[in-house]
């Protein structure tokens, strides 16, 4: 007879825990109370307010997207098949200057959150403008988020003056710190080539004072090496090291052109990395030396980047690409195993965000961020190795149930936290406006950064 009563229970199914022991539990029994995992066992009869039947399913931790720009769903498919710098300077930056506002950011973020929940992501790290609106959208949509307020030296859509930008950053942290770990504030400097040394240093100082993460794009493109060396006399990683902004609370995004010396420095300093293979492949920006980073003990998570450069937010696709691109480029089928890549999408992604004690695995005491895959699919039959099936065969659309902070946010493919048709209609209206003025926007002078 059951002796404990839980808020929510999951019964049946195969549990891929992603614990340090990498346990796989058949006919799993999971009890959830107060938003946390209170019991993990097998073949137990559980008493709960609600019991989710997971028989025949695959249960795993919710996926962790370590880098994205949620509102950029509004630019999805608008500028494709372009080199990175052309894409940024002649398309994305001018369109952001023209179209990004609070409403666009809020509605775009809501649509992106829906897309992520429907494809198994339960935690994301966003870096953009009007980050208050993104944090509000995440809270409303039930998504766990690291919300990183964006900084650049040029006038940004939300803060045309540098002094106001810095003052608003402090208020942003004060507002959202009490909401952690559901919403965790952070700071995001766009890149070493769009942020001056003053901005990079001041934002890092503010992040250190607040005890929050500091993120930046780094070495996404080979041209960045020459640009930074000509401006400052140092290559990008050494430039940031000289400014003392690299430490164990820094997340570097992309890192496609890291040298062995750069990697050794990151390992010494404890810098984490967000790997975004789909975006980098689409922009022909390069392939990050992730196997070497992992060999040196660097924490590496997966990210989708924004929908303007991916063009979706499906971490299952990202896992598949991450495993395969490194095998192909290194001519070595043994690198980036399915287990390694799934770690990057779960527990290692959580470590990148400083949240591995809270999320990233299904273990007693952790927040209950859990997804269930429907394995009764032709492309998932038969099942021999759960890790292989998740990384090489599963798709975001195979997720049938998503639980965040102990609350179901999607069941049987039905989103429970928002009116999705209404959100999509609002984004279509935004897109119609963008489409009508798109050519005019990109004919304007590129944003000078």
Residue range 218-242, pLDDT digits in tens: 999 999 999 999 999 999 999 999 9
User: Which of 97 and 315 is assigned the larger pLDDT?
Assistant: 315
- Note the pLDDT tens digit of each residue in 73-93: 999 988 888 888 888 888 888
- Per the DSSP assignment, residues forming a β-bridge with 24 are 16
Residue 127 token pair: 């870096």
- Per the DSSP assignment, residues forming a β-bridge with 125 are 146
The CATH topology of domain 63-352 is TIM Barrel (3.20.20)
pLDDT of amino acid 90: 85
pLDDT level of residue 443 (50, 70, 90 thresholds): low
**Cis amide bond preceding 382, omega within 30:** yes
Averaged pLDDT score across all residues of the chain = 95
pLDDT of amino acid 163: 80
Number of C-beta neighbours around residue 160 at 10 A: 10
pLDDT of amino acid 447: 47
- Note the pLDDT tens digit of each residue in 275-323: 999 999 999 999 999 999 999 999 999 999 999 899 999 999 999 999 9
What percentage of residues in the chain have a pLDDT greater than 70?
Answer: 97
- Note the pLDDT tens digit of each residue in 111-142: 999 999 999 999 999 999 999 999 999 999 99
Name 151's Cβ contacts closer than 8 Å, sequence gap at least 6. Answer: 165, 169, 187, 188, 189, 190, 195, 199, 203
φ, ψ (nearest 5 deg) of residue 14: -100, 120
Name 324's Cβ contacts closer than 8 Å, sequence gap at least 6. Answer: none
pLDDT of amino acid 2: 52
CA–CA gap between residue 241 and residue 278 (Å, rounded): 28
CA–CA gap between residue 348 and residue 342 (Å, rounded): 9
Check whether 365 has a pLDDT greater than 70: yes
Question: What is the secondary structure of 6-69 as a DSSP string?
Answer: EEEEEESSEEE---TT--EESSEEEEEETTEEEEEEES---EEEEEEE-TTEEEEEPEEEEEE-
* DSSP 8-class letter at 378: G
pLDDT of amino acid 449: 43
Check whether 1 has a pLDDT greater than 90: no
The CATH topology of domain 5-61+364-415 is Urease, subunit C; domain 1 (2.30.40)
- Give the three-state DSSP class for 238: helix
pLDDT of amino acid 441: 58
Check whether 387 has a pLDDT greater than 60: yes
Listed by start position, the domains of the chain span: 5-61+364-415, 63-352
Check whether 257 has a pLDDT greater than 90: yes
Number of C-beta neighbours around residue 268 at 10 A: 11
pLDDT level of residue 327 (50, 70, 90 thresholds): very high
Of 81-85, 194-198, 359-363, 381-385, give the lowest mean pLDDT range: 81-85
pLDDT level of residue 438 (50, 70, 90 thresholds): low
Q: Shortest CA distance to 253 belongs to which of 203, 205, 288?
A: 288
Check whether 208 has a pLDDT greater than 50: yes
φ, ψ (nearest 5 deg) of residue 352: -55, -40
φ, ψ (nearest 5 deg) of residue 254: 90, -80
Check whether 445 has a pLDDT greater than 60: no
């Amino acid at each position: 007879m059951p002796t404990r009563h839980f808020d929510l229970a999951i019964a049946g199914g195969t549990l891929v825990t992603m614990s340090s022991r990498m346990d796989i539990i058949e006919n799993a029994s999971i009890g959830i109370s107060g938003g946390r995992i209170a019991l993990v066992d097998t073949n137990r009869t559980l008493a709960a307010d609600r019991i989710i039947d997971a028989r025949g399913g695959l249960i795993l931790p919710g996926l962790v997207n370590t880098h994205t720009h949620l509102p950029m769903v509004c630019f999805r498919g608008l500028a494709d098949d372009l080199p990175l710098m052309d894409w940024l300077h002649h398309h994305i930056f001018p369109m952001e200057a023209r179209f990004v506002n609070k409403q666009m950011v809020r509605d775009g973020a809501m649509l992106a959150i829906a897309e992520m929940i429907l494809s198994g992501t339960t935690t994301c790290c966003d870096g953009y403008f009007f980050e208050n609106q993104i944090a509000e959208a995440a809270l409303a949509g039930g998504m766990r988020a690291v919300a990183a307020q964006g900084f650049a030296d040029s006038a940004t859509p939300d803060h045309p003056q540098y002094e106001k930008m810095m003052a608003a950053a402090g208020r942003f942290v004060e507002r959202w710190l009490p909401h952690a770990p559901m919403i965790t504030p952070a700071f995001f400097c766009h890149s070493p080539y769009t942020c001056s040394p003053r901005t990079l240093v001041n934002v890092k100082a503010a992040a250190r004072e607040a005890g929050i993460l500091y993120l930046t794009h780094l070495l996404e493109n080979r041209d960045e090496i020459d640009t930074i060396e000509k401006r400052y006399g140092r290559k990008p990683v050494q430039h940031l090291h000289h400014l003392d902004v690299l430490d164990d609370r820094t997340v570097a995004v992309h890192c496609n052109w890291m040298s062995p010396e750069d990697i050794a420095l990151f390992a010494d300093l404890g810098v984490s990395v967000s790997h975004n293979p789909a975006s980098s492949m689409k922009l022909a920006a390069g392939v990050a030396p992730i196997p070497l980073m992992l060999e040196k003990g660097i924490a590496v998570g997966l990210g989708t980047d924004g929908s303007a450069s991916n063009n979706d937010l499906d971490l299952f696709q990202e896992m598949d690409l991450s495993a395969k691109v490194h095998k192909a480029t290194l001519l070595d089928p043994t690198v980036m195993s399915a287990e390694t890549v799934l770690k990057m999408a779960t527990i290692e992604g959580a470590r990148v965000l400083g949240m591995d004690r809270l999320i990233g695995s299904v273990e007693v005491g952790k927040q209950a961020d859990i997804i269930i895959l429907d394995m009764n699919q032709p492309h998932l039959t038969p099942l021999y190795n759960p890790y292989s099936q998740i990384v090489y065969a599963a798709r975001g659309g195979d997720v049938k149930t998503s639980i965040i902070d102990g609350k179901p946010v999607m069941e049987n493919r039905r989103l429970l936290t928002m009116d999705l048709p209404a959100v999509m209609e609002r984004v279509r209206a935004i897109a119609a406006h963008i489409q009508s003025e798109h050519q005019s926007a990109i004919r304007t002078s590129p944003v000078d950064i």
